[in-house]
Amino acid sequence: MSGDHFGLQVLERLRFAYGVKNDQQLSKIIKRAPSTIHNWSKNGNIPTFECVEAAKNTGVSLDWLLTGIGSGPHSEGANSDAEQQPLGIPVSEPGSELSPVKMYDIEAAAGAGRSFEGEPVKTTLYFSTAELTEQGLNPAQVVGVKVRGDSMDGTLADGDWVLVDRSNRDPKQEGVFLLLVSGERRIKRVQRLAGGALYLISDNDHYQPEMIKPQDMHDVEILGRCEIRIGRVV
């Protein structure tokens, strides 16, 4: 994983709550220097009291600001259902500085499909093009996937969302990957072994590692590397 940018998502929701499009406009409203806001974005960390003040000033719920679940702008009351819209900015007319990322529920996948084309899209969220680029990501190659199950506990929790770089499918770079294994999409830590075998590791030690032998590689395809986690702080 290259980083947890939960703070970045909070910053995006702060902009949305105040009805502004960029950090310069936000800095004038909350009376913080643009450099301070830039550091929040760079470090992925926003002071909690800023979110508390924003909740008071805009009428959105603190839960929504911190997690994306609850009463946001234009909503009618809080809703803590975990199946509500995931984190990010739902906008009807995104500016050129934002890139659309399609978000998929891994359980809703058809299974046999080797790409995401034609799969049901849970929602489309918009992320800062500059921030994605800074992370070495091509926005056109990024999709979001909802994590299901507890096999990656400690790294990814059930219900988290993860941004996947579809252009990076090389297991020589050890990391967490989205794979298609015998028609099923799975998220595992991947290591390439001598001789071409793959070692699939669950970060939850209740699950045993799995070895994919070279002769069985026809049943496996790496769909992309998991790069950015979006989830609840616990």
Q: How confident is the model at residue 70, as a pLDDT?
A: 58
Residues of the chain falling short of pLDDT 50: 1-5, 75-92, 108-114
Q: What is the pLDDT of residues 103-116, one digit of tens each?
A: 887 764 434 444 67
Q: What is the pLDDT of residue 233?
A: 59
159 contacts 130 by C-beta, under 8 angstroms: no
